[in-house]
């Protein structure tokens, strides 16, 4: 009968439930340090979402080091490096810590957008896209998170994109790179949380930054968006 069928289906699941709960649902014995954070590094700080994050953090009294390909404004220390260049990034982060002290917040917002049909995305284009977004994020977070874990205190936020979740025609390499950032952030969060470091990832929709292409500013496109407009970078910074 129906009861026997339900028992035959649910029985094995019920037997596994205690083990599943022990492995995945146990409460985290973590207490995050409630003291105010005082220092931060933001990549992609010269424009767009990165610049908005610098402004928001500075308004909260945080001393910010901004890293970009050109000097950033509104920050205590302007760092200049390509995030894909590990040695340059580590050198600039060392300078930031000498001038500001240990970095307690890291916002990884550096990136760029490019549209090409999949069959026209060459190996060099793939390498550059992944080098900036994925390795660039790793290059910044590895040295900063190392110190956070040692102090058992810190906050990390990466900037991905809605395209990491839904994809985009003619932007497969960009969507793939942003998808990697989402997965990287989830994995780091699981590693770092037990040691007092919070890791989050923000995946905004179309945002009013210099990266946006002209067709995404057209009224016909804006009408398809839930808000009927582009997201303001300051709105993204408020979630960070």
User: Taking a C-beta distance cutoff of 8 angstroms, is the pair 78, 125 a contact?
Assistant: no
The CA distances from residue 72 to 30, 79, 95, 109, 223, in Å, are 36, 8, 15, 13, 33
User: Taking a C-beta distance cutoff of 8 angstroms, is the pair 155, 104 a contact?
Assistant: yes
Q: Among all chains, which residue has been given the structure tokens 């492995």? A: 23
Strand pairing of 105-108 and 39-43?
parallel
Concerning whether 113 is annotated as a catalytic residue, the answer is no
Could you give the 3-state DSSP secondary structure of residue 174?
helix
Residues in the chain, total: 240
User: Taking a C-beta distance cutoff of 8 angstroms, is the pair 27, 43 a contact?
Assistant: no
Distance CA 158, CA 39 (A): 17
32, 113, 174, 221: the catalytic one is: 174
**Spatial CB neighbours of 16, under 8 Å, sequence gap ≥ 6:** none
Could you give the 3-state DSSP secondary structure of residue 59?
helix
Catalytic residues: 174
């Amino acid at each position: 009968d129906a009861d026997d069928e339900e028992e035959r289906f649910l029985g094995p699941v019920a037997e596994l439930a205690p083990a599943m709960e022990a492995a995945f649902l146990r409460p985290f014995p973590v207490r995050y340090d409630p003291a105010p954070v005082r220092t931060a590094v933001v990549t992609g700080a010269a424009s767009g979402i990165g610049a908005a994050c610098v402004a928001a953090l500075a308004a909260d009294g945080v001393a910010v080091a901004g890293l970009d390909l050109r000097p950033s404004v509104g920050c205590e220390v302007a760092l200049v490096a390509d995030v894909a260049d590990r040695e340059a990034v580590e050198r600039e982060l060392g300078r930031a810590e000498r001038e500001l002290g240990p970095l307690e917040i890291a916002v990884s917002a550096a990136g760029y957008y490019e549209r090409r049909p999949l069959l026209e995305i060459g190996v060099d284009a793939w390498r550059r896209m992944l080098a900036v977004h994925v390795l660039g994020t790793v290059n910044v977070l590895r040295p900063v998170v190392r110190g956070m874990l040692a102090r058992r205190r810190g906050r990390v936020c990466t900037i991905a994109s809605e395209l990491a979740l839904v994809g985009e025609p003619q932007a497969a390499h960009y969507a793939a790179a942003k998808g990697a950032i989402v997965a990287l952030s989830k994995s780091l969060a699981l590693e770092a949380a037990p040691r007092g470091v919070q890791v989050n990832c923000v995946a905004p929709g179309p945002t009013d930054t210099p990266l946006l292409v002209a067709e995404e500013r057209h009224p016909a496109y804006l009408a398809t968006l839930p808000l009927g407009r582009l997201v303001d970078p300051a709105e993204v910074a408020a979630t960070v």
